[in-house]
Amino acid sequence: MSETISPAPSAAPPDAEPSNRVVEALWLLVPYVVSVVLAFVVGGLIILALGQDPVAAFESVLTTSFNTRFGTVETLHKWVPILLCAYAFAIPLATGKFNIGSEGQLLVGATGGVALGILWSDLPMVILLPCVLVAGALAGALWAGIAAFLMVKFNVNEILSTVVLNFISFQVIDYVASQVWPDRGAGHPATTPVGDGALLPGIGDTPPFHSGVLLTLVLVVVIAVFMRRTATGFEMRAVGANLRAAQVHGIKTSRLAGAGLVVGGAVAGLAGSIEVAGVHGKMLEGMQSNFLILGIIVGLMARGSMLALPVVAFGIAVLEVGAGSMQRTAQVPVEMVLIIEALILLFLLLSDIVRTKLRGR
Amino acid sequence: MTTQQPPRLEMRRVVKTFGPVVALDSVDLVVARNEVHGLLGGNGAGKTTLMNVLYGLYRPNSGEVLLDGEPVTVGSPRDAIDAGVGMVHQTFLQVDNYTVTENIVLGTDVSGALRLDLDEARKRIRELSTRFGLSVDPDAVVEDLPVGVRQRVEILKALYRGARLLILDEPTTNLTPQEVDDLFGSMRAMVDDGMSVVLITHKIRETLGVCDRMTVMRDGRSVETIERSDTDADHLADVMVGGTTGPGELIDAAALGAVDAEEVEVTVSSVRDAVGVSVQGLVVNNDQGHELVPGFDLEIREGEIVGIAGVAGNGQVELAEALAGVRAVRAGSVEVGGRSMCGRPASAWLDHGVAYVPEDRHRDGILPTASITENLVLGSQRSPGVRRHGLLDWGAAKQRAVEAIEQFSIRANGPATPAGDLSGGNIQRVILARAFARRPRMLILHNPTRGLDLGSTRFVYDQVRVATDAGCAILLLSEDLDEVIAMSDRVIALFKGSRAGEWQKGTVDAYEVGRSMTGLGEARV
Amino acid sequence: MGEITEFLTLMIPAMVPFLLAAQGTVLSGRAGVFNVSQEGLMVLGAAIGFLVSFKVGSNTVGLFAAFAAAALFGLVLAYMTTQLRLDQFVVGLALYFAALGAAGLLYREVIGVTMAPPLIPTLDDYPIPLLSEIPFLGEVLFDHDLVVYAAFLISAGIYWFMYKTRSGLAFRSIGENPKAADSLGINVTWARTWSTVVGSGLVGVAGAYLPMVYTGLYTEGMVAGRGWLVIALAFLGGWRPHLVVAGAAFFAGMEVLALRAQVAGIGIPHQFVLMLPYVATLLVMVFAFRWARQPAFLGRNYDRESRLVG
């Protein structure tokens, strides 16, 4: 069937724009609120079924971040890698590519950072710290670059290559942490500490939060401007929206898609070096935590909006910090939070359908 | 018409809406036994939608369907098939990597539930194809077959299932005049065999050539059902376009196939002396690396429309994309406005004023999720006009979008409307607005009016004339032979990527073009 | 036992998780549903299979429970993609996370944190009479646990269904051109639903096999990316069940090779040896995406009334 009948545009006079905006914003926000509430309701039912108290559980999930300064700092420290891994997922996704490799890129970025931090440990901070951070970003970019190269040159599916590279990176850091610069006394594969000049200075009183948080805030602005206001950012979004149309209109699509992956890898790599320089002071096995999954969840929840990412990432960081204390105080396993996050995502997807129905298609 | 027996098909007060759009507004249709019934109307009249309802692809909001006098509920294609209805869609519904036989038996109770056995089926297909003059090789893989043969496969699919009522949706679009004659022959054979055939078409000449009766549809309503013997082309054209066909719209009418294009007087020509585009020895490959255009020469003068007629798949896409700078050229040269363009990136062609209106406007023309504003910027995002302080200036872009919406009468809520939410005609207006914003020296139009309603079709033709008046060189590639003949100053027949004939305006004979398009004509270059 | 015999004897059971999960992936893929939740479904299958076997005392019940749990996730995927037409990748990823969470939650609830992790008995070998006595071949092929035989039989069954039956012809057409299939009265939604449910179930069984074959232990990282490798395997095999068997042999061979090289200690750090299967996968994909066909409509939802498709 050829789509020939003009849909009668629902009458919306142009002068009604301001109130329209409020309505549009509500259509955007309400699904988030409803999805979160529903996910907590379902999660609460599961907790009840497990024989625990959902109110106590959710209280500790939601308040830990704000009750103590320690909780707040921990939340900010989680927010940084979660958000950066979310960018690592969302930037390539803007071009229609799925980067499921941010943990590998983070680990290799951490390797790059820790290498300079150990080798040049005597250098002063003004030189060493930028070197460590840049090395992390470059190493992450390089790691994602393998997937980008395979994708552009050989048409290898980026989902698979980025995932497989994660598993290779686990062995890489195990090798570095147990053979190259091992810390024998750690009782766990870990490198020796980096030099003092490689550490991000803390901000505020005990416990301080590291200045990587501010760096990340700057990055939020840079990325938003890049995606929205530069020709390259526009072209990336065009490739994601319709690859063929972008091609027909003079955009070098496969190069841009590859570039998207590399930029994403750089951001994840930077997360790795910030973790080294700001949190651990060294590299250790398992430092990737579950940032990959959380980054993807945040990236999917933000639905392509670079501005929503930091906010959603903060919400997820709150849940993650709360998860540990929920397990301690309410005896509900931490995995409950992952289930709730997945549920929020599913409900958010479902809300599209409800919204379409409500608005009469 | 027999009065004692109930008609083969009766549809009563069928209503179908898509969201706010009323596609069928209480439509009635009666098809008698043993007749070819024309379902005539412009694009968007609702012909295909009505037949999709009958075939169970669309669920009607209300209405009744009776087959041979019995009320039936058609909830799915399965129900339609069981009720003896077969449908040949405009785009073939075939599994490309299956053989002809596999495609035909698909979904039937072919012998061997546990061990597939196709010998029986093959025999039946051979028998049917002889009986109705539809020759095919049952073991050929369909993706290797030309359009005409693939269409026969579609018809055989319906016949194999014992269809008593066959619906053909615009079956002649990609056929040469000779193939059309063969098809009409097969249709008569079916009717003689006791079947009824519904022919969906927007071409008056076709309905007059083969139909016993015809129902004219307009704007989702059935306007009138007419006996062949009671009507002629002028009358049908009147009914079809709503009785508003004035003399000034004769060319449009010709392009719609309402009147014979050859008879239309040449109007004012805007062709200038200066050469706008010069193409020499152009060699282009398709996506699979086969040489589809083996060496093409072409000159288009400023203000001239050169039309390319051809059966789809003869290198049109490759030629159009190569001349738009989108597809890499293997050899040859392309000069636009005196500048050699080959080897430059696609963006350089755009900047130099080469505009391309692609065949598949959804796939190649727009960013569906992006706003009209963003779609209008697409392609010029690196030119200085849209930037301020090195960054994209969305405020100014929005302002221009508002102007374009006004100027091109795009029906949308505003510049922020996602392009994918627009109708086909409005999408084409966005694409044209984008193309004309750059004051093109050369405009490549590929099937520019396919699937558009009358208003949008006219709008496209008007814009083309505005462009030629401004001295733009235009290449029009279309599968609609009437459109090519009516619009072009020169017609070139394309066969296997080469020029198989060329005619100046006023000297074109459709049959001759058809022969050349299939490689049978004598080249008159 | 000769080196080669031993290698092949180890390789056959190592093929099983790849085979079952890849055939499950191929099954729904040929109907057009691209499931990307395999890794999560395998982890869930491993956890459920282990926990049920541990509680009930029967590995067979454990395997069926794993099938049922993963099939339930498959049903959600099928419903959300065929009925609600949500993006297959995004729903698949969400289910991957949910399955990971469910697996961890269940293990922690049932077992808790213990110093001595519980064990289940590994599967017994059932040598096939007569056949297992053939020299070399008998030992390599016919002296394994029942799941091994089942995995090969299931592969053969899926191949036979797809290429030798009338319904298989119809089934495959859905992944190529669902509109064509639909226009001929083939039920696209039903085919996509059952194949996704059964396919996901097989992925769950593939996961459940892991704790039952080697150690009898459940550990968190035991699936180790096999769920993702399986998707690579489906592409490598061109989404054809018989070629998937060959591909599974390759993946299993790499795994066994890496393990044996690590045990033998061949002078290079074991980390590099353990990378081998993954590096090999990357290299193999370079070729897989060059020559292998995939269903034309893979990963795309079908909407009969969509006015834009076809």
- The ipTM estimated for the assembled molecules is 0.88
The Cα of B404 is separated from the nearest Cα of chain C by a number of Å equal to 25
Kindly indicate the confidence band of residue A17, based on its pLDDT and cuts at 50, 70 and 90.
low
Residue A9 has what pLDDT?
A: 36
Which has the closest alpha carbon to C247: C36, C35, C19, C20? Answer: C19
Helix or strand holding residue B30 (H, E): strand B21-31
Among all residues of chain C, which has the CA nearest to that of A4? C307
Tell me if C248 sits within 8 A of C11, measured CB to CB. no
Record: contact B113-C167, CB cut-off 8 A = yes
In chain B, the residue whose alpha carbon lies closest to the alpha carbon of A15 is B414
| Residue A18 contacts B where some CB pair is shorter than 8 Å | no
What is the rounded average pLDDT for all residues in chain C?
91
Taking only the tens place, the pLDDT of each residue in A36-91 is 999 999 999 999 998 889 999 999 999 999 988 899 999 999 999 999 999 999 99
A244 touches chain B (CB under 8 A): yes
Pick the range with the lowest mean pLDDT from A313-327, B303-317, C164-178: B303-317
A202 φ, ψ (degrees, to nearest 5): -85, 160
Per-residue pLDDT at C265 exceeds 80: no
Query: With an 8 Å Cβ cutoff, are C168 and B116 in contact?
Result: yes
Give exposure, A201-213, as e/b (b: 16+ Cβ within 10 Å): eeeeeeeebbbbb
pLDDT score of A8 more than 50: no
Q: What are the structure tokens assigned to B505, written together?
A: 């305006």
Please tell me the distance from the alpha carbon of residue C46 to that of residue C20, in angstroms, as a whole number. 13
Which two tokens mark C307?
A: 């006015």
> Is residue A118 within 8 Å of residue A192, measured between CB atoms?
yes
From B381's Cα to the closest Cα of chain A, the distance in A is 6
CA gap A153, B182 in Å, rounded = 48
Can you name the CATH fold of A72-329?
ABC transporter involved in vitamin B12 uptake, BtuC (1.10.3470)
CB-nearest to A160 from C91, C279, C285 is: C285
The predicted pLDDT at position A13 comes to: 38
Report the range of poorest mean pLDDT among B77-81, B138-142, B249-253: B249-253
Quick one: which of B233, B209, B212 has its CA closest to B241? B233
Name B498's bridge partners: B495
Distant-in-sequence, close-in-space partners of B479: CB < 8 Å, separation ≥ 6: B173, B174, B310, B311, B312, B447, B450
Q: Which residue intervals of chain A bear CATH 1.10.3470?
A: 72-329
Domain ranges in chain C? 2-123+141-291
pLDDT attached to residue A185:
85
Q: What pLDDT band is residue A272 in, cutting at 50, 70 and 90?
A: very high
Rounded CA separation A105/A165 (Å)? 8
Q: Check residue B404 and give its pLDDT.
A: 92
Give the residue among B393, B289, C232 at the shortest CA–CA distance from A163. Answer: C232
Chain A hits for B381, Cβ within 8 Å: 231, 234-235
Distance of alpha carbon A318 from alpha carbon A341, whole angstroms:
12
Distance from CA of C74 to the nearest CA of B (A): 25
- Contact A353/C at CB under 8 A: yes
Which positions in chain C touch A346 (Cβ < 8 Å)?
Answer: 80, 91, 94, 98
Nearest by CB: A235 against B22, B381, B387: B381
Report yes or no: A69 and A278 within 8 Å, Cβ to Cβ: no
CATH topology of domain C2-123+141-291: ABC transporter involved in vitamin B12 uptake, BtuC (1.10.3470)
| Cβ–Cβ under 8 Å, residues B300 and B471 | no
Per-residue exposure over B303-334, b if at least 16 CB sit within 10 Å of its own CB, e if not: bbbbbbbbbeebbbbbbbbbbbbbbebeebeb
Residues of B in contact with C32 (CB under 8 A): none
Determine the average pLDDT of the residues in B14-42. Answer: 89
Q: Report the pLDDT value the prediction gives residue B220, as an integer from 0 to 100.
A: 87
| Separation of CA A129 from chain center | 23
Strands (E), B48-164: 62-67, 70-72, 85-88
The answer, for C27 touching chain A at a CB cutoff of 8 Å, is: no
Residues in chain B closer than 8 A to C182 (CB atoms): 57, 76-77
CA distance C167 to chain A (A): 28
C166 and B116 in contact by Cβ < 8 A?
yes
Q: Are the beta carbons of A179 and C95 separated by less than 8 Å?
A: no
Q: CA A169 to CA A146: how far, in whole Å?
A: 12
Residue of A nearest to C274 (CA): A171
Band of residue B241 on the pLDDT scale cut at 50, 70, 90: low
Residue C62, classed as helix, strand or coil, is helix
Is A246 at the interface with chain B, CB within 8 A?
yes
Set of chain C residues whose Cβ sits within 8 Å of the Cβ of B110:
166
Nearest by Cα to B321 from B270, B383, B363: B363
Task: Spell out the CATH class of B9-97+163-244.
Answer: alpha beta
> With an 8 Å Cβ cutoff, is C290 touching chain B?
no
Interchain CB contact of A157 with C (< 8 Å): yes
- In tens, the pLDDT along C194-251 reads 999 999 999 999 999 999 998 899 998 899 999 999 999 999 899 999 999 999 999 9
| A122 near C CB under 8 A | no
C-alpha–C-alpha distance, residues B204 and B105, integer Å: 35
| C309 touches B: beta carbon within 8 Å | no
DSSP-derived secondary structure for B227-257: EGGG--HHHHHHHHHTS---GGGHHHHHHTT
For chain C, what percent of residues have pLDDT higher than 90? 67
pLDDT at A206: 78
Q: In a 3-state reduction of DSSP, which class is residue C116?
A: coil
Q: Give residue B268's pLDDT band: very low, low, confident or very high (50, 70, 90).
A: low
CATH domain B275-517 topology: Rossmann fold (3.40.50)
CA distance C141 to A223: 57
A7 touching chain C per CB within 8 A: no
Q: Give the angle subtended at the CA of B453 by the CAs of B449 and B458, to the nearest 5°.
A: 60
Buried b (16+ CB within 10 A) or exposed e, B12-28: eebbbebeebbbbeebe
pLDDT at residue B254, rounded to an integer: 55
User: Is the Cα torsion angle A205, A209, A212, A214 positive or negative in sign?
Assistant: negative
Q: How far is B390 from chain A (nearest CA, A)?
A: 8
Question: How does A18-48 read in b/e, with b if 16+ C-beta sit within 10 Å?
Answer: eebeeeeeeeeeebbeebbebbbebbbebbe
